Amino acid sequence: MTSPETKTCPNCGHINSTKNTICTRCESSLEKSATMLKKEASAEKKERKQKDRYNRYQAQEQQREQYQDKQKTNRRELAQEGEVTIKGVDIPFMDLVILLVKLSIASIPAAIIVAVIGFVVMGALGRFASLLS
C-alpha cells in the first residue's frame, strides 16, 4: 500500500521513500506514477496508431504519385513513338532497284484503281451536269 511517505516504483513495484527520485531496487525514475505511465502508454499507442494511419496514407499517396508518373512517362513515350523522323535512307543499290521495281509494279493496280475512281467521279459529274441542262 502507498502511504504519503512512500512511493511505489512504477517499474518494479518496490516501495521507496518519498525522498528518493530513483528506485533503490531497479534505479528507474519514481517521478511518474504508475497511472501516469499507463496514461502515457495509451497516449503513445494512440499516437503510434495515428502515425501508422498517416504513414499508410503517405504510402498510398506515394503509390498514386508513382502511378501517375508512370502514366505520364508512358504517354510521353507514346507521343515520341508517334513521331517517326526519317533522318536518312541507307539502302544498298540493288535493294533500291528492287524497291523501285516493286513500286512500279505496284503502281499499275494503283493507277487502275485511281482510273476507276476517276471514271466513277466523272460519270457522276456528267450525270449531274446532264440533269442540270
- Summarize as ranges the residues that interact with Zn ion (CB under 5 A): 9, 11-12, 14, 23, 25-26
Tell me how far, at minimum, the Cβ of 51 lies from Zn ion, in Å: 30
Quote the CA–CA distance of 1 and 5 in Å, as a whole number: 11
Beta carbon nearer to Zn ion, 33 or 71? 33
In Å, how far are 33, 45, 95, 121 from 9, measured between CA atoms? 8, 22, 95, 105
Q: Which set of grid coordinates corresponds to residue 4? A: 504519503
Beta carbon nearer to Zn ion, 25 or 56? 25
Beta carbon nearer to Zn ion, 13 or 126? 13
Tell me how far, at minimum, the Cβ of 28 lies from Zn ion, in Å: 5
DSSP 12: T
